Structure 1
Amino acid sequence: MRIRFQTIAATLLLCMPLAGCVSNEMRTDVDMQEAADHADGIMDATLRGIEPTVQWAHGPTTTGSCGVTRRRAVMTVVSEKRRGNFLGLVERIWRHREYRIKGVNNDADSPAIYAQTKDGFGVTLIIGGAGQAFFEVDSPCVNESEVKDPTTPPNGPAYEGVYPLPRPNVRSDFWSAGAP
């Protein structure tokens, strides 16, 4: 399990330039809190588009020298047989919202999609161990400010103060099914 987490963490770090913060251009009209709120809106819209609904929880928020990253973890088990459906659905949601798909990783163990919004936010979906999906939104370079916790309540347990989050533990007749 430790190796799997390290692999996912390394993949996220290596792929961040594909997803966000690729522009050195400073957005002086936005601060980190506004960027975090926008990132939350991106994930809210994505998760609202997933049918059947999946249960999710907030992951950690991080800030860098000029950007902010928001994360969410899907607590519904996405079976190996349904991962392609899940990735395809999310890709269609992002294309419909006119996000540019920057890369797709078809790795059997940890498939991923990397996209970018028109306003420079990087959007990532990675399927990790036990079929857990992770969403991450990275802002472009913005003005430094304090960043508050997300205000959108998760649609399941909040897992406040729990890190790392538990493995997915919610079964879905569709997403967790063993047949495609």
Structure 2
Amino acid sequence: MKGPVRLLGCVLLATVLTACQGGKEREEPKMDMQQAGERAEEILDGTMGAIQPSVEWARGLTGETACDAGFSEPTGTTSITRSRNVLTVVSRQRRGELFEMIQRYWERQGFQDFDVDSAEDMPRTRAKSPDGLVVILSAGDIGNVSVTAGFACAKDSPMTYPKGTPSRPGGPTKSERIPHEHSSYWSATGS
């Protein structure tokens, strides 16, 4: 069940990023793919660094989806996503605290338009920065937490990836997703 849930999250993010603009004229891209990737990595690294006590994490999968103007007419732009998977088990009792800590960090970075789904089994928080970066924090029912950052329709350009990015040269072939590290703080189940 974990694979389909993660896949659904990725599909939802791709849908959010490439959503139709309802007949409005498309804006010029604010950045190219390389800049968008670097911006996403910067926010993801900062998000992981804002979690105290610190957690173990791994780079997650990346995504690139060509934007089109309808009928598969290319626009010369591509939506990009980057992600982080928390490898430290986060107990249900600690999830709310983790979500609040990350939301405060995002607010300090200028993110707005927070959309919070407080579902008990799989909570999710989504926000957007003034430059168009969308971030999504989600948790699963086995203590797994992931953060995804994406930018819709960046100008097509060559793009590089940080060392250790899954399915990219020099990186692992698969993304580590299942939490397996224990933390005396984040994994605690007592009050």
Cα RMSD (Å) of the superposition? 2.3
Structure 1 unmatched ranges of 5 or more:
none
Partner of 1:69: 81
Where does residue 151 of structure 2 map in the other structure?
A: 139
Q: Does 1:103 align with 2:115?
A: yes
* Distance in 2 of aligned mates of 1:178 and 1:131: 11
Tell me if structure 2 keeps the 8 A contact 1:125–1:133: yes
| Aligned counterpart in structure 2 of residue 113 of structure 1, from 106, 125, 141 | 125
Name the residue aligned to 1:175. Answer: 186
Q: Following the alignment from structure 1 to structure 2, what is the Cα–Cα distance between the partners of residues 170 and 52?
A: 13
The percent identity for this pair of structures is 28
**Secondary structure of the corresponding residue to residue 97 of structure 2:** helix
Q: Which runs of 5+ in 2 are unaligned?
A: 67-77
Q: Which has the higher contact order (CA 8 A, sep 6+)?
A: 1
Measured in 2, the distance between the counterparts of 1:54 and 1:131 equals 12
CA contact (8 A) 2:132 2:151 kept: yes
Matches within 5 A, 1:3-42: 3-18=1-16, 20-21=17-18, 24-27=26-29, 30-42=31-43
Secondary structure at the aligned position of 1:140 is classed as: strand
Secondary structure at the residue paired with 1:64? strand
* CA shift for structure 1 position 21: 4.7
Is residue 63–residue 69 contact of structure 1 (8 Å, CA) maintained in 2?
yes
Larger radius of gyration: 2
- Count of residues paired in the alignment: 171
Q: Does structure 1 retain, via aligned residues, the 8 Å contact 2:85–2:177?
A: no
TM-score normalised by length of structure 1: 0.84
Please, what TM-score do these two structures have when normalized by structure 2?
0.80
